[in-house]
Amino acid sequence: MEAKMHATGYVHATFYTPEGLRHGTRLHTHLIGNIHTHLVHYRVDLDVAGTKNSFQTLQMKLENITNPWSPRHRVVQPTLEQTQYSWERQAAFRFKRKLPKYLLFTSPQENPWGHKRSYRLQIHSMADQVLPPGWQEEQAITWARYPLAVTKYRESELCSSSIYHQNDPWHPPWSLSSFFTTTRTLKMRTWWPG
């Protein structure tokens, strides 16, 4: 299963001035294509063989061990380190924090070899945070702080943005960051890739 998003449309352009080259690239005699950002986010409710899923990550670590075939020597070998996320705040990954290599939504059901059935989420994005946290207009796009946030499923949290945010970004009706509490567990997960 794969989902892709591509931005299309017209170039965001302004009249050329030499000072404008700090903010874009010259496209024609009197035209500059300005730097701009396309922001998008999704709400995904993914159930893996039922609704009692968990969220976990796997990281590769190097382990320095005694060589089993030659005890006088050492060997460095890769191992998998598993982290289980129980609280929403733990599973809100901000930009500037490296995402773990393997992001897994896991069912309690096991396959014939004893591994839990999972979907792996792969995020291939060049996006980065566009405004400092707490900055005036940033209040309307708090979801843009996170390449991934995993929350408990709630009917009252069907979206993390609103059409009204564009008219009053300083006092948005709600924000994704208000969905995270330290006391809410991650049962029936919903994920918000940015």
pLDDT at 137 over 70: yes
Residue 5 within a domain: no
Percentage above 70 pLDDT, the chain: 93
Query: Does residue 162 share a domain with residue 80?
Result: yes
Residue 77 within a domain: yes
Query: Does residue 166 share a domain with residue 87?
Result: yes
Query: Does residue 172 share a domain with residue 77?
Result: yes
For the entire predicted model, the pTM comes to: 0.76
pLDDT at 105 over 80: yes
Query: Does residue 62 share a domain with residue 30?
Result: no
Tally the domains of the chain.
Answer: 2
Domain that holds residue 21: 11-38
Q: What confidence category does residue 29 fall into, taking pLDDT thresholds of 50, 70 and 90?
A: very high
Query: Does residue 107 share a domain with residue 26?
Result: no
pLDDT at 38 over 90: no
CATH number (domain holding residue 166): 2.70.98.20
Q: Cα dihedral sign for 174, 161, 133, 21?
A: negative
pLDDT tens digits along 59-89: 999 999 999 999 999 999 999 999 998 888 8
Rounded Cα distance, 23 and 33, in Å = 8
pLDDT tens digits along 14-23: 999 999 999 9
